[in-house]
Structures are given as structure tokens and as C-alpha cells.
Structure 1
């Protein structure tokens, strides 16, 4: 993992008060999110009286109220509030009431918020050393899902599990479909954590890609981001070197000509038969979208013989990083992770809206 300052952790009063407290996922259209069951299982395994809620917030003022409420332990932020919350915390930082991690600043988004400092302060008020801290754990979910899939396949020796050798070599290549905020998190995970120094971006909007490239400059001078616009631009050498494909766009039907061309570019990367690759040598395709779980890109990856991973796995894999902030690293080994994963996957199987 890339070097970071010591991990800030939640105000310890939340661990010792014995009061029922709340965690929230805040965003739009979050009612079908399956992460709550795993979070609640983790809280029970640690004997903490905390309950995780999927909370619809249509205004940033509603998000702020949840974050600052005395009964709130922590908040997971999803679309469309990740960038807005980052800006809000930067404003709070000017008065000593907020702080944003370097990682979140680099990715331009906050998705994990909690109170730090001011231990022993029961009233939940900001100030006096107590402040709201925002960071980003999306990268950990993406990395974890890719590593788990790679390690369970015959490619484990080349794709690895985020090993130091791979990280130091930085010889890997990957494809990212899309150019929004999720793409920035994907590139961060692929470059900083998995050693992919060349990222091919497939996206129909040139300006979006230019913005993505600008936003990723802080990741390091060794990163090369290439916009691939047409299938004929995909060479056999490029196709052969790709280890991961990460899809970061919604699962909308292809309607415009630009969208159709982008889809053919994705197919050009996936079709490794032309590059002389057998099925046992293909990479991992991860689709961050999980509503529905079996997206068109998941089906496309299966068609071309790639190992595919659905977006619900990303939800679970970033929880270790989130709970490290909330309870401290020393408590992570006390968590019943196997039971939590079982709850998450069962919820995904039993949620009709995700299985259409």
C-alpha cells in the first residue's frame, strides 16, 4: 500500500458510551443498497450497539445534519454527494472543525466521514479538538475485489494480491470504462495499489477524459493515461498486456453512436483470441454497478472468457478500511468477516431490484 500518515480513528467516546448509535449510508436511491446487513453484522460481532441505516438525502443540508448529529457514529457517502462533502469539509477545516485526508483530496471525493479528537466529549459538539474527518475508501473496495478474483484464478502469480513486487515494478496495464469520479478511484487503486502504470480509458466524451487526466496527475509521474476512442486503436500488444478491466459507468442501454463505438472499444480489449491468448490467461473484469448485478459488461466479460466480479463485492471489500477508521486496526481481527460476507451475499441474492 502507498505510504500514508497514521490512520485517524473515530472519537473513542463512541466505543465506551454504551448508547445506541447510528451509522448511515447517505445519497440518492440508496434504499436497495445491501451493505447495511454486513455493517450491522460487524457491529454485533464487536458487541457495539450501533445500527447502520440506508438514508435518502436529497439536499446537502440533510447530509450535514446526519454527519453532525450527536447519535451518528460515522457516515458513508455515495452519489451525488462525495465531491460536495469534500468541499464542505474543506470549508470546516478553515475554522478547525473539519479535516480531509490527503487520499480523498487526490481522488477529489470523500465517501467516509466520522468524528476525531476530543475524546471524552459527550455532547458531540465540534471544536475543542473535536472535528469531522473525511477520507476515501473506494480504492480499497476496488483493489480488494480485483485481488480476491485474481487470487482465486490461475492468474494469481501474475496478477497477485497487491504484492510489493508488483507494486514496485509498475509494469501492468488496465482498462477503465468511464471518466467520472469512480474512474478516478479506479485509477488510484490500479496505479497506486496494483502497479498498473498504463491505464487505457474508454469513454465517449473527450472533455470528461481530459478532466480525468488532469485530476489524476497527483497520483505520480509514472502514470500514463491513454484515451482510446476507436476499436482500431487497440493493438494486439495493448490487448495482451491488460490485466484488469474496471467498468465505472451505469448499466444504461447503448443508444447513441458514440456509445456504440465505445462499446466496440471495450470488446476489442476483451477479445484476446486475436492476440493468441487462451482462456486461462485472461484477466479480471470488475463492474462497479450492481443494480442490476448482471450488467451488460459482466455478460460481455463472460462471453469472452474473463473472470468477472460484480459491484456488490466492492461494497464488502472496502469495509475493512472503513472499520479500521471506526474501531482501530487492532479490533479488525475480532470481527466475524466470514459471517459478514455471508450476510452481504445473501442480501444481494434476495433483493429483487438487483436481480432483474
Structure 2
């Protein structure tokens, strides 16, 4: 990232609602700075009803690329020219490139999450995993965890029909993983190798998506929220001695892969990580 903005500066961004809490601009601009690229990354709040206008603006204003966050990861797809096979399977896009008006979408969430689990020496193979939520991030995790060999994935969503639809859709792609839409009570009664919160509960309040004190057994807990760094769910896990991680690792690694998708360069992981740590410590 150069120190001045010119007529040749490439613009990247994040679209979602809300975006005010996002650390992506600081992380991605640190990456551009490392390579001294003439580029800037900014966050743009886009309402649900304005998604088509926002995608049109990417073309009209010649943005080089964008990341997509809640609640638009699935709704952007019809407006793109091309979607990678993995993103099609997931049904959610979190990264879009713009090459001479051709918009290509992909998904780096699933691989970012799998990489983040290595911090706790966790591998999904033959594991029983519960996922809270059935939105774009949950879809990516279901695909990634099933592809990595999870034996059973149980999914709970506030709207049960949405979880049931996800299970029906993904069961055909991953027949060797048992996928189930379940109630919170079933999650509480199941011995879990990993519990993952993909909802926004805890981002703006002290609420809990589930009271893990009522759960039978949880080996590891992951909360995709990274701001605040310690949600009420993470704090509860720490009090109970359950190893846990927040969404910082997933944010870092999906960002690294987005950077490479846009630029063709290996992401400066250390610089991006250090920037994130400077913002959360």
C-alpha cells in the first residue's frame, strides 16, 4: 500500500451489515503495505435491499475486489458472472474478484476455519461436531468439516427449517458424514468433540447462544465472533476449563486466501497477524 492515493489506486472492500466492527480493513491494508501495492481496502455498509446495487457498483466503479460478510454471503451469488465449484457447493461467497468487469466469487471461510483449528491441534476426521446457526458461515463450515472427514455434524438454528434445508442439501455431497438438524436440547445431551457458534449472539450483547454448563461434554469450543475478543460463550468455556478459540484465526486465514485470490501473491501472514493482534490486545 503506497502512502498516497492516485488515479491508479486499486480499491478493495468489505460489504455487509454491520461492518463497523470489522478488522478486515486494517488487516488487508497491512498486507498491501507489506508489498507496497497501490491499493486501499475499506468497509461499506450495505443493506439487504441494496445488494444488487452494491454488486453493480463494483463493476461501475471498477473495484478490484471485495469480501462479503453477513448477511449477504448467499444473496450475492445471482449477481456474479462466475462462482467457483466449492462456493457453488457451499452456496455462499465471501470473496469476489473483478477482472475487467467479470465478477468471480469464491469462498475462503471453510479453509480459513480448518487452518485455525490447528492452533488447538484439532483435526475434524472421525469427530462429532455441533454447529450453531445455518447461515453463510455455517454452510462453509459444514462443507469444510465434512470434507475433512467429520463423522457426524449436528446443526441447530433458530429457524429449524433453515437447518433442515441445509442438512438435506449437503447430505448428497457428503454421504459419509451423518448430518442432522437438531434442537438445542439434543446438542446439550450429545458428547461433542467440537462446538462451533456461527451466529451473531454475543457480538453486541452478553447473551449466550447456548448455556454450555447444561451440556454433557464439550472437548473444544469455537466462536466465530472476534469482536469482542472474548464473548460470554468464550468466557464460560474458560471458566469450565474447555479449550476455546475465537474468530481471529479464521479471519486471518480467510483473509490470507482472499489476498492471494485477488493478487496472485502469497499473503504476508505475519504482517496481517501482527496487525490483528495490535488491534485486539
Q: With the length of structure 2 as denominator, give the TM-score of the two structures.
A: 0.85
Deviation for aligned residue 1:254: 9.0
- Give the length in aligned residue pairs: 272
Q: Mark the CA change 1:254 to 1:323 in structure 2 (over 3 Å): closer, same or farther.
A: closer
Asked if the contact 2:62–2:98 (Cα under 8 Å) also holds between the matched residues in 1, the reply is no
1:39-67, CA deviations, whole angstroms, 9 ceiling, x for partnerless residues?
Answer: 11111112211111011223124412442
**1:189 matched to which residue of 2?**
144
* Structure 2 counterparts to residues 38-49 of structure 1, below 5 A: 38-49=27-38
Deviation for aligned residue 1:204: 4.4
Deviation for aligned residue 1:304: 2.2
Q: With the length of structure 1 as denominator, give the TM-score of the two structures.
A: 0.69
17, 33, 41: which one pairs with 2:22? 33
What is the alpha-carbon distance in structure 2 between the residues aligned to residue 46 and residue 218 of structure 1? 43
Look up the SS of the partner of 1:83 in the other structure.
coil
Does residue 285 of the first structure (1) align with residue 276 of the second (2)?
no
2, 7, 12: which one pairs with 1:23? 12
**1:163 matched to which residue of 2?**
none
What is the alpha-carbon distance in structure 1 between the residues aligned to residue 187 and residue 256 of structure 2? 39
**2:275 matched to which residue of 1?**
343
**1:309 matched to which residue of 2?**
245
**1:15 matched to which residue of 2?**
none
Q: Please tell me whether Structure 1 or Structure 2 has the larger radius of gyration of its CA atoms.
A: 1
Instruction: Give 1 or 2: higher helix fraction.
Output: 1
1:4-58, CA deviations, whole angstroms, 9 ceiling, x for partnerless residues?
Answer: xxxxxxxxxxxxxx92111010111212211111111111112211111011223
* Structure 2 counterparts to residues 1-356 of structure 1, below 5 A: 19-58=8-47, 59-89=50-80, 98-116=81-99, 124=100, 126=101, 131-147=102-118, 149-150=119-120, 156=121, 159-160=122-123, 170-193=125-148, 195-229=149-183, 231=185, 238-239=190-191, 242-251=192-201, 263-264=210-211, 266-269=212-215, 271-272=216-217, 283-328=219-264, 331-332=265-266, 335-349=267-281
What is the alpha-carbon distance in structure 1 between the residues aligned to residue 110 and residue 199 of structure 2? 16
Deviation for aligned residue 1:292: 2.8
Deviation for aligned residue 1:184: 1.3
